[in-house]
Amino acid sequence: MEREIQLTGIGGQGIQLAAKTLAYAAIEDGREALVFGQYGGYMRGGPTESTVVLAEGPVLSPPVLDEIWAAIAMHHGFWTTVRDRLRPDGFVVVDTSVFRGDLGAGSCTVVELPASDMAGSLGNTMAGSMVALGAFAAATGIVSLASLITATGQVLPSYRAQHAKRNAEAVQLGYDFVKGPLVAAWPGRQEAVA
């Protein structure tokens, strides 16, 4: 079984880092992972998205997908192309502190949270994507919290290692926001919740 997740937003929101963190956490949990990041020519403010495919065996999906199971929407800009790939039974986490307009997610299950504002309450305004990632993990069981926390320390280059603890706090904050699983990423499997 494979699960395809697309993270979307604008440059500077940590989309690529969140995608890499999710992939590392899945590997920590014993799964296979593929990450494919795309971004515009801007340092901040341009389009950015990343596709993550997680599998219980070898990943068979190509990095560019026609359909996805889930999405994390950190900004309304460039959202429609991601939204149009969502399966009708999909799942979305949306950052309501930034996202404007109609999500238009149809019959998908949606978790709304002010991820960027929540990150700001930790003094880490750029960790909104980590808050959203924590909420995504809690709502789906896609990866364990322990693996996600571990991954926050693994993905950063040495010159940014000082941010790992704050990113872990942001993941925990998002995880705690969601009260229990809402959809099963891996139907028929009981995942560790901590």
User: Tens of pLDDT along the chain (194 residues)?
Assistant: 999 999 999 988 999 999 999 999 999 999 999 999 887 655 666 788 999 999 999 998 777 789 999 999 999 988 999 999 999 999 999 999 999 999 999 999 999 999 999 999 999 888 999 999 999 999 999 999 999 999 999 999 888 888 899 999 999 999 999 988 899 999 876 544 33
pLDDT of amino acid 192:
42
Architecture of the domain spanning 2-177: 3-Layer(aba) Sandwich (3.40)
pLDDT of amino acid 126:
86
pLDDT of amino acid 47:
83
Reported as a single tens digit per residue, the pLDDT across 16-37 is 999 999 999 999 999 999 999 8
Cα–Cα distance, 134 to 140 (Å, whole number): 10
pLDDT of amino acid 43:
60
pLDDT of amino acid 31:
97
pLDDT of amino acid 160:
87
- Asked if 53 and 76 count as a contact pair (C-beta separation under 8 A), the reply is no
Residue whose pair of structure tokens reads 């320390």 in the numeric block: 153
Strand partners, 113: 95
- Asked if 134 and 177 count as a contact pair (C-beta separation under 8 A), the reply is yes
- The three-point CA angle 34-92-76 to 5° equals 100
pLDDT of amino acid 194:
38
Cα–Cα distance, 118 to 48 (Å, whole number): 21
Strand ranges inside the chain, DSSP E: 2-10, 32-39, 47-55, 68-73, 86-95, 109-113
pLDDT of amino acid 78:
86
